[in-house]
Amino acid sequence: MILPGATLGLLGGGQLGRMFVFAARSMGYRVIVLDPEADCPAAQVADRHLAAAYDDEHAMELLARECAAVTTEFENVPAASLEYLAARVPVRPGANAVAIAQDRALEKTFLREHGLATARFAIVDDAEAIASALREVGAPALLKTTRLGYDGKGQARVDDLDSAQRAFAALGGVRCVLEERVALQREISVVLGRGADGEVRCYPVTENWHRDGILDISLAPARVAEETRTHAMSMATAIAAKLDYCGVLAVEFFVSSDGRLLVNEFAPRPHNSGHWTLDAAITSQFEQQVRALCGLPLGDTRVFGGAAMLNLLGDLWHGAQASAWENILRQPGAKLHLYGKQEARVGRKMGHVTCLGETPELALESALRLKGELGIS
């Protein structure tokens, strides 16, 4: 076990990193953050910030020397950097899991090989492969780049061969996955922690609503049938086991209108749909990440009542910011989290607010009321 007082390394300095740092420091650890950007959200609260590239040799060497263990807060860290560090210090989750999660083709193939249901898909390596991929998958479909897509970026809708070819060109002619466009009944996710010894603890299943491809509201516990709940948890647990995973893992699912439960994607880190655990669970997903990283026993994932989390995007900053805070802070059951980002671009995640209630329905009611008051459509 790596005990409090030790120094932990974190690759990535965004909001997930910031909340990890808060959890680690409140437990008595020191944290060194590596992120090229000055004044990034995690650097503002860390013990030390290395403002360098993710493959900077000097920074890697320093992390390996100073840290008892290293983790990552975003999946696009070069797998080679994780491998370099892993030869010197425990890195959790491991480079292999991160490499699979950062590439949609690897991820989907991994799921298929392990018998875990996904939307129908085919890999498109070049323009010649489009027609056969479309025959295999069928329309309507979505074309997604295999790498660096997030929040609906790097995706295009496909309705026929013509639009598929245009989409492929618009995405830059890079390697893509063509995916069946699923008629969605609901989107849900499972966030879990898996310890170095294979112990798994799942948080209650969360319901997620997106707006323009970006998470808008998460509600927990999800209002889904018991069978869906247990099926989602067992699929997420199987993914973690097959990756020999250590850390917090988030698995996003589609529930299709014809009743299928399909894995959309997984993230090798704490996840936006688990932010509510900060305020409503015995152990937050960030504390769980610290525990898994340090080889501590996992914390209890049970929750107090219901929680509805509302993302606060940069759009809000272009409106009446001062009155927005007043509105949020006036609600005794609403918990405000801001990430310390200076530049409020439209669609950028600037913070979130979690509304608590005795039941998920009551929490959702508060979140929707607040959303209306903030003028979010």
Residues near ligand AMP (CB under 6 A) are 119, 142, 149, 152, 179-182, 184, 187, 210, 213, 252, 264-265
Pick between residue 8 and residue 119 the one whose CB is nearest to ligand AMP. 119
For the bound state, the minimum distance from the C-beta of residue 153 to ligand AMP, rounded and expressed in Å, comes to: 8
Selection from 259, 172, 149, 276 nearest residue 221 by Cα:
276
Nearest distance in Å: CB 48, ligand AMP: 33
Q: How far is the CB of 250 from ligand AMP (least distance, A)?
A: 11
Nearer to ligand AMP, 165 or 256 (CB): 256
Shortest Å distance, C-beta 141 to ligand AMP: 8
Closer residue to ligand AMP, CB minimum distance, 68 or 116: 116
Other Cβ atoms within 10 Å of 189 Cβ, number = 27
Residue with the shortest CB distance to ligand AMP: 182
Residue 170 C-beta: closest distance to ligand AMP, Å: 17
DSSP H or E segment with residue 137: helix 130-137
Q: How far apart are CA 352 and CA 349, in angstroms?
A: 8
Measured from the CB atom, is 152 or 347 closer to ligand AMP? Answer: 152
DSSP strand pairing (349-357 vs 334-338): antiparallel
CA dihedral 147, 153, 158, 161 (to 10 degrees): -50
Residue 17 Cα to chain centre, angstroms: 12
Which residue, 49 or 275, is less far from ligand AMP as judged by CB? 275
Distances (CA, A) of 83 to 19, 92, 98, 114: 25, 11, 11, 24
Instruction: Give me the least distance between CB of 243 and ligand AMP, in Å please.
Output: 18
CA-CA distance, 298 to 199, in Å (whole number)?
Answer: 8
Q: Which helix (H) or strand (E) holds 237?
A: helix 226-242
Residue placing its CB nearer to ligand AMP in the complex, 8 or 251: 251
Q: Give every CB contact of residue 57 below 8 A, 6+ residues apart in sequence.
A: none
